[in-house]
Amino acid sequence: MTSAKAAPPPVPVPMARILALQPKLRPTDLEDAVVSTEDPLLLETVCNLVRIWATARKDLPADFSERVQVKALSRQPLSFASIDMETVERDAMQVNEPFPPGSGVDASPWPTSDLFMLRPLSPPTFPPAPQRTRVDLPGRQSVGVCTSCQGAGAENCVTCAASGRQICGSCSGTRQVTCPQCGGGGTHIGVSGRYIQCRRCNTRGTIQCQNCRATGQVTCQVCAGRGTLQCEVCSGHGNLKSRWVLNVNTETAHEHEFSLADPWPAPTEQLLSDTEVLSEVIVRPADGDATISAVAPASLRSMARRVLEKVSSSASGEQRIAAYRVQIRGTYLYDVRLEYSGRPFTVLIGGLRSQVFPKSALPAKSGALQTLGRFFQKGLRALATDERPGVGSDFVKAVSVGSAHLTDTNCLLPAVAAYLRCPCSVTGEGYVLQVVEEASKGSIPGPAIPISIKLDSEVAGKLTLCASVIIGDAHRDQFPLALSLNSKLMVGRLAVTEIDGVETYIYVDRRPYDFASAGRYAAVLQGMAAAVRWLSSSKPLN
Amino acid sequence: MEELGQSLRSCNGIAVRYQAADMIVELPTGGGRRHAVKVQSRRLPGTNGHVLWLQSRAALVSQPKIVRKALRENGGLSEIGFALDVTVEPPSLDVVCGVIAQGVTVEELLDALQKVSWAASAIDARVAAGDHF
């Protein structure tokens, strides 16, 4: 059932990348089939995401965010073969310019008449809008007499017909102007109030023009009386140099196709720009096919070749294909089975910004009476069970402005940062807090220690706060020492993990999310920061 | 800490004794086995607070690969970690955990004690049976 009224457009909630939903993909991950998951972290994250999405939609029931439940979750990769083709069109054009005496002329012939051989193609830039550029072509220059002034370097002034004088603008050549005293009437009103004869013009009504001194002509203002003007075409040099320029029109054509193991009705066009580029290669026309094999996983190669053929066929005869940019892009697409008031419906979630798209009809907004009834029921339930389902408005606001992570429903870490008075930034996995040392009297506080806090789920499915700091490269001969240092570290422990194939010491602390009040977790982070400072100052592992 | 010890004593199967400033808590770990956990109150550097430091012997370290594996496991999912006690010969692999003392409840401490003792006991049993850690 859909609402009779047209639904207002939903206000999108800006969402940063949530790594729990959109982990880093490799091209081979795009070959995965549909899998269903019961990972509690994913379920919790998706549920929060749907709740926040629902708060921005005015067409959903008021209590939707509170009562919606995630019943099942499955995902599959959505992959794109996206190809940009840069085409170049060239034409040579002769231009004439003033030729000052003594300047050089390159009259050497061109080695070829093929304009693409004459000058190599620039590195491809794939401009989003057509681009026009002009470059100089050396050679084939010549000098000739200026056709405009026939080599004179000057032209007759058109304004004065080369006389150097022009008709006076004040008297229009009549040498007389209207008397300003009587306005041409010959009489005017005197001080007595009666008409008297004009003495200035002696009742003639006109006087001699002072501008041209009664000659009717003035010096030509255009040529300053010279009668000639410098030739604008040759700048007065009398000669013109003819040289060649190359006009280059560069355009980018785009084609893409998508692939899904199970054809869910995803709005793929909206998702294309919101996907991650997993591999990219710039291909010259000659080696297109071979490079596609290297960049695309086996299942996407035929699709990439098809897109390449399609985009290539769009080039016209005058255009030369400069290069292709082949991209394999992908995102995880989630099919989320939800339930609200016993009614099932489905949404799809996909893209780096975790966009939500209804797959089936959404529940209609209820009438005022029903809403009142639900609020009453909710009040009774809250009184009876102390239950506070759904997400708080503070949390929604914090996520919307990017100050809280989607999984941090209690806004714990912003509270910890406020407690410690330290900067806090939201990342895909959680947060980074710059923990500063508590200043004591007479001492200079040390540098801030950046601690990343990941919101993760442990084996039992409980949400966990995982704080970590990278210490440095691990050396095998120091392993016993590193492990023994853990007896001195009050919170967290030293561990070894591989980062980019290199064994690295990390200092890590894991605690259940439920354990933490802001004050207690602040103590953990302060303890970690103190330990990191100790490790870097006393260098036991160096 | 004494108050917490009193509360722990009231829990089924848990024995608590004191050794100097330390509290030794012995917990059942399944299969009729029991395992001891040492609890110390230590100051948490960088703060004015304290930590309840839980430590339990898991195995004697005879091979270097145990150390490497323990360091790798430390990066894993659990709240507890491994430390090497080099004050004994041969060195001992301990299961450790730091609980923030401020506002700690008996339930939270008991949960941490159980995790530490279970992990230490399981390693102890595996190593005793000739299995690798």
pLDDT score at A390: 55
CA–CA separation, A524 and A340 (whole Å): 40
State the pLDDT at residue A131. Answer: 93
Q: Give A414's pLDDT tier (boundaries 50, 70, 90).
A: very high
Q: Which of B74, B80, B95, B102 to mutate to test the interface with A (most CBs of A within 10 A)?
A: B74
* Per-residue confidence (pLDDT) for residue A72, from 0 to 100: 93
Assess if residue A271 is contained within a domain. Answer: yes
Peptide bond into B90 cis (omega under 30): yes
| CB pairs A-B closer than 8 Å | 122
Identify the residue with better confidence: A388 or A478.
A478
B119-131 pLDDT, tens per residue?
Answer: 999 888 887 766 5
Among residues A325, A344, A373, which one ends one of the domains?
A373
User: B83 vs A484: CB contact, 8 Å cut-off?
Assistant: yes
Question: From CA A243, how far away is CA A143, in angstroms rounded?
Answer: 9
Asked if A355 and A422 sit in the same domain, the reply is no
Does residue A262 form part of some domain? Answer: yes
Q: Given this model, what pLDDT does residue A341 score?
A: 86
A492/B71 Cβ within 8 A? no
Query: Does residue A444 fall inside a structural domain?
Result: yes
What is the per-residue pLDDT for A385? 41
Q: What are the backbone angles phi and psi of residue A19, rounded to the nearest 5°?
A: -65, -25
* Better-predicted residue by pLDDT, A527 or B7: A527
- Per the domain annotation, does A366 fall within a domain? yes
Rounded to an integer, what distance in angstroms lies between the CA atom of residue A411 and that of residue A431? 11
pLDDT grade, residue A480 (50/70/90)? very high
User: Which domains can be identified in chain B, with CATH numbers?
Assistant: 2-128 (3.30.1460.10)
Q: Which of A17-21, A104-108, A418-422, B95-99 has the lowest mean pLDDT?
A: A17-21
Which of these ranges, A6-10, A405-409, B95-99, has the smallest mean pLDDT? A6-10
Closest to A283 in 3D by CA, of A329, A229, A328, A338: A328
Q: Are residues A357 and A436 in the same domain?
A: no
Cβ A486–B96 below 8 Å, yes or no?
yes
Residue pair A408/A44 in contact by the 8 Å Cβ criterion: no
User: Between B42, B53, B79, which is nearest A510 by CB?
Assistant: B79
Residue A462 above 80 pLDDT?
Answer: no
**Does the distance separating the beta carbons of A480 and B86 come in below 8 Å?**
yes
**A126 located within any domain:** no
- Overall domain count for chain A: 2
| pLDDT given at position B124 | 84
Model confidence at B27: pLDDT above 70: yes
Using the predicted structure, report yes or no on whether residue A4 has a pLDDT greater than 90. no
Same domain, A415 and A369: no
Q: What is the DSSP string of A337-383?
A: EEEETTEEEEEEEETTTTEEEESSPPPPPPPHHHHHHHHHHHHHHHH
Dist CA A153 CA A128 (whole Å): 46
pLDDT over threshold 90, residue B113: yes
Q: Is residue A165 part of a domain?
A: no
A-interface mutation test, from B42, B47, B57, B85, most A Cβ less than 10 A away: B47
User: By mean pLDDT, which of A54-63, A77-86, A467-476, B39-48 is the weakest?
Assistant: A54-63
Average pLDDT over residues B94-112: 91
Is residue A166 in some structural domain? no
Tokens 């389902």 appear where? A389
Task: Please tell me which of the candidates B72, B74, B86 has its beta carbon nearest to residue A484.
Answer: B86
Q: What is the pLDDT of residue A418?
A: 93
Contacts of A126 (CB under 8 A, 6+ apart): A84, A86, A252, A323, A325
Q: Are residue A417 and residue A524 in the same domain, yes or no?
A: yes
A441 plus A365 within the same structural domain? no
Same domain, A359 and A453: no
In the chain, the amino acid numbered A534 is W
Q: Which residue has the higher pLDDT, A232 or B78?
A: A232
Give the pLDDT confidence score for residue A391 in this predicted structure.
63
Residue A32: pLDDT above 70?
Answer: yes
Contacts of B70 in chain A (CB under 8 A): 483
Give the nearest chain A residue to B64 (CA atoms).
A480
Closest of A260, A282, A405 to residue A331, by C-alpha: A260
> Which tops the pLDDT comparison, A428 or A6?
A428
pLDDT beyond 90 at A524: yes
Q: Per-residue pLDDT averaged across A67-93, rounded?
A: 93
- pLDDT bucket at A1, cuts 50 / 70 / 90: very low
HEC profile of chain B: CHHHHHHHHCCCCCEEEEECCEEEEEEECCCCCEEEEEEEEEECCCCCCEEEEEEEEEEECCCHHHHHHHHHHCCCCCCCEEEEECCCCCCEEEEEEEEECCCCCHHHHHHHHHHHHHHHHHHHHHHHCCCCC
The answer, yes or no, to whether residue A382 has pLDDT greater than 50, is no
User: For A510, which of B78, B85, B91 is closest by C-beta distance?
Assistant: B78
- CB-CB: which of B75, B85, B103 is closest to A495? B75
- The strand pairing partners of A470, in sequence order, are A506
Contact status of A527 with chain B (Cβ, < 8 Å):
yes
Least Cα distance to A509 among B64, B40, B51 occurs for B51
Q: Does A341 reside within a domain?
A: yes
* Identity of the residue in B46, B94, B100 whose CB atom sits nearest the CB atom of A520: B100
CATH code at A460? 3.30.1460.10
Residue A372 pLDDT > 90: no
pLDDT grade for A379, boundaries at 50, 70 and 90 = very low
| Average pLDDT, integer, range A467-482 | 91
A458–B47 C-beta distance less than 8 A:
no
Residue-level pLDDT at A388: 42
Q: Do B81 and A495 touch (CB under 8 A)?
A: yes
Structural domain ending residue among the three candidates A373, A396, A424? A373
Domain match, A440 and A519 both:
yes
Task: Choose, out of A440, A490, A496, A541, the residue to mutate when testing the contact with B (most B CBs < 10 Å).
Answer: A490
Smallest Cα distance from B88 to chain A, Å? 12
Range of weakest confidence among A132-141, A363-372, A417-426, B120-129: A363-372
Decide if pLDDT at A136 tops 80: yes
Q: Rounded mean pLDDT of B91-112? A: 91
**Quick check: B79 pLDDT over 50?**
yes
Domain-ending residue, one of A316, A351, A373: A373
- A347 plus A423 within the same structural domain: no
Q: Do A530 and B82 touch (CB under 8 A)?
A: no
Give the pLDDT score at A63: 81
Q: Please tell me the pTM assigned to this model.
A: 0.64
Supply the Cα-derived Rg of chain A in whole angstroms.
40
The pLDDT of residue B55 is above 90: yes
| Domain that includes residue A477, residue range | 410-537
Which range among A201-205, A365-369, A521-525 shows the weakest confidence by mean pLDDT? A365-369
Q: Is residue A272 scored above 80 in pLDDT? A: yes
* The pLDDT value given to residue A11: 47
Range of weakest confidence among A14-18, A187-191, A473-477? A14-18
pLDDT, tens digit, for every residue of A329-362?
999 999 999 998 888 999 999 998 889 999 888 7
